[in-house]
Amino acid sequence: MVNGRLVRLGNRAMRYMLAQVAFQWIALVANIALIGGIAYLFHLVIAKSLAAHHMAIGACAALVCLTIRFAATRAAAHMSHLSARSVKDTLRRALFDKMLALGPAYAQQTSTSEVVQVAGEGVEQIETYFGLYLPQLLYALLAPLTLFAVIAPISLPVAVGLIACVPLIPLAIAAVQTIAKRLLASYWDQYAELGDSFLENLQGLTTLKVYEADAHKAEQMDAEAETFRRVTMRVLTMQLNSIIVMDLVAYGGAALGIALAVSALADGRIGLPACLAIIILSSEFFIPMRTLGSYFHTAMNGSAAADRIFAILDAPEPSPGARELPERRNRIEIQGLSFAYTPEREVLHDVALAIEPGSLVGVAGTSGSGKSTLASIISGRLTGYTGTARIGGVDVRDIERESLARHVVVVPTSGYLFSGTLRENLLMGNPHATDEQLERALAQARIDAFVRENGGLDMPITEGARNLSGGQRQRLCIARALLTSAETLIFDEASSNIDADSEAAIAEVIREIAGERTVVVVSHRLANLVHADMIYLLDGGSVAEQGTHSELVAAHGAYAAFWRAQHELERNVA
């Protein structure tokens, strides 16, 4: 009934929870005092000794009790809010820290929609667990014991009869718990699946429209939504059924208490005022347990959401390196490097290569040969490799993350530009850059004229940079990369999918910056590598050939064959 790990995580909220229970208990005591007072006045009425001053004292006492009850109930609600807020804060912070700790490789451990779901809806569900369920669990233990202590001196058999029924509710809860756990795990699976499809279809909506596949995808999503609806209904049915069982126990128990009190009255063991007090208090006996039962289902949902959060929090993190790299002249050296995304298939085998500081190195190969994987290893995004990948003599895994990020910058096929102004996007490369430096980088990336004509550094960038062409976007990303002080720039197919002018401009930039910095160009298009000091040709995850362009062409091997084929194709197209 209690998720130990979740409770430990919400440790900070514990004092609010205890305060909440204390306030609930004070409200209960005020209620008991009020009922006791009413019973006493009733006793005076029966005894025909009720005087005016009794009425006045009674009214004052009732007012005090009601005020205390009201204030304590309000304070308990406030404590509930504080503990929920503290837990939400802790959980969201833990998830956020985890994402940062996983770094750029987080997508290998979890999906974006899963993180969004658990951090949003999942954490909200856990709020109920801490804000309502756990305090109620404590209160539901405390309240019957308190009432037992009050009723026992009046009538021990009635008190024993009432308290004997109380454990039936937790027993009913425990009975449904196993079913509920299985059902809720399936509920969250379906929910995450639906979220994944929704996000993917939304992101690919244009493609779906272009290929008129949206109707088919809509049907698939309808089917998934229907499965989710069914599992939601099963969860609700289970919850309603168990609430009925708990109601039967709660109201049956209260009825038993009333019956016992009336029979004690009939036998003359208690008087009418005591009987009246017991009748009112016997429902109080079960209300806390009954309320606990109704919170239980939301709490179970929160507990199931917590399991998903823990799965993310438990994802193995790349061990943080601590070594700083020297600012300049770092040689990149790879030896016996192998890597597999999944145990069944190795995508890099025994790769060996060296990249001299300030050189221009090309990595060529057909699609799927492992070029981007190699780039990701050098930039520290993939860490689960065997063999060595060293920068400046230090294994990439041992380099402190920020030092590595300062040293190696990857310009991917389509870099991300954020909505805002161009200046804001460029300053990500170097927050201290002056306008002059920004303009110089734009000029170096051959995009300055376009920027000048479109509002300069304050030109707006819309969401997803949709107001720019692919080539413009790419050149702006290159300008941003140039603003960094990174010694090594890796262009991973940075000029694919763009117009010929942009491609030529990017090739020129790359040649210009080589020498000042180390440049690695990953490209399946060999024309981009002609000027490289060294080219490595990957084939099926291994280095098949290496040398300069002219050496490789002269060798008449696989590179030469690719070169001739690409050359031929481009001439025919032209």
Binding site for ligand ATP (CB under 6 A): 341-342, 347, 365, 367-373, 493, 524
CB of 474 to ligand ATP, least distance (A): 16
**Can you tell me the distance from the alpha carbon of 512 to that of 517, in angstroms, rounded to the nearest whole number?**
10
- Residue 332 or residue 522: which is nearer to ligand ATP going by CB? 522
Q: Output DSSP code: residue 517.
A: B
CB of 371 to ligand ATP, least distance (A): 4
CB of 573 to ligand ATP, least distance (A): 20
- Residue 249 or residue 529: which is nearer to ligand ATP going by CB? 529
CB of 379 to ligand ATP, least distance (A): 13
- Residue 69 or residue 371: which is nearer to ligand ATP going by CB? 371
CB of 339 to ligand ATP, least distance (A): 9
CB of 532 to ligand ATP, least distance (A): 17
Cα–Cα distances in angstroms (integers) from residue 305 to residues 121, 177, 185, 299, in the given order: 9, 15, 8, 10
Give the torsion sign (CA, 296, 301, 304, 309): negative
- Count the neighbouring beta carbons within 10 Å of the beta carbon of residue 67: 11
- Residue 341 or residue 418: which is nearer to ligand ATP going by CB? 341
Helix, strand, or coil here: 369? coil
- Got the DSSP string for 35-56? HHHHHHHHHHHHTT---HHHHH
CB of 191 to ligand ATP, least distance (A): 24
Contact 73, 135 (CB under 8 A): no
Contact 406, 394 (CB under 8 A): no
Q: How many residues does the chain have?
A: 574
Give the torsion sign (CA, 178, 191, 120, 78): negative
Question: What's the distance, CA 26 to chain centroid?
Answer: 38
* Residue whose tokens read 């050496």: 551
Contact 303, 133 (CB under 8 A): no
CB of 373 to ligand ATP, least distance (A): 3
Cα–Cα distances in angstroms (integers) from residue 69 to residues 4, 64, 76, 114, 235, in the given order: 32, 9, 10, 43, 35
**Can you tell me the distance from the alpha carbon of 481 to that of 102, in angstroms, rounded to the nearest whole number?**
23
CB of 493 to ligand ATP, least distance (A): 6
- Residue 344 or residue 402: which is nearer to ligand ATP going by CB? 344
CB of 10 to ligand ATP, least distance (A): 35
**Can you tell me the distance from the alpha carbon of 401 to that of 387, in angstroms, rounded to the nearest whole number?**
20
- Residue 92 or residue 349: which is nearer to ligand ATP going by CB? 349
**Can you tell me the distance from the alpha carbon of 346 to that of 498, in angstroms, rounded to the nearest whole number?**
31
**Can you tell me the distance from the alpha carbon of 135 to that of 311, in angstroms, rounded to the nearest whole number?**
26
- Residue 68 or residue 347: which is nearer to ligand ATP going by CB? 347
- Residue 365 or residue 415: which is nearer to ligand ATP going by CB? 365
- Residue 133 or residue 536: which is nearer to ligand ATP going by CB? 536
Helix, strand, or coil here: 268? coil
Contact 83, 13 (CB under 8 A): yes
- Residue 363 or residue 451: which is nearer to ligand ATP going by CB? 363
Residue 197: strand pairing partners: none
Q: What angle do CA 466, 470, 472 make, to 5 degrees?
A: 90
**Can you tell me the distance from the alpha carbon of 429 to that of 407, in angstroms, rounded to the nearest whole number?**
12
Of 126, 98, 121, the C-alpha closest to 315 is 98
CB of 386 to ligand ATP, least distance (A): 16
**Can you tell me the distance from the alpha carbon of 187 to that of 301, in angstroms, rounded to the nearest whole number?**
9
**Residues contacting residue 516 through CB under 8 Å, at least 6 positions apart:** 358
CB of 214 to ligand ATP, least distance (A): 27
- Residue 96 or residue 341: which is nearer to ligand ATP going by CB? 341
- Residue 493 or residue 545: which is nearer to ligand ATP going by CB? 493
- Residue 190 or residue 372: which is nearer to ligand ATP going by CB? 372
Give the torsion sign (CA, 550, 554, 557, 562): positive
CB of 355 to ligand ATP, least distance (A): 17
Helix, strand, or coil here: 304? helix
CB of 542 to ligand ATP, least distance (A): 12
- Residue 283 or residue 338: which is nearer to ligand ATP going by CB? 338
Give the torsion sign (CA, 441, 446, 452, 455): negative
State the DSSP H helix or E strand holding residue 236, giving kind and residue range, or none if neither: helix 214-266
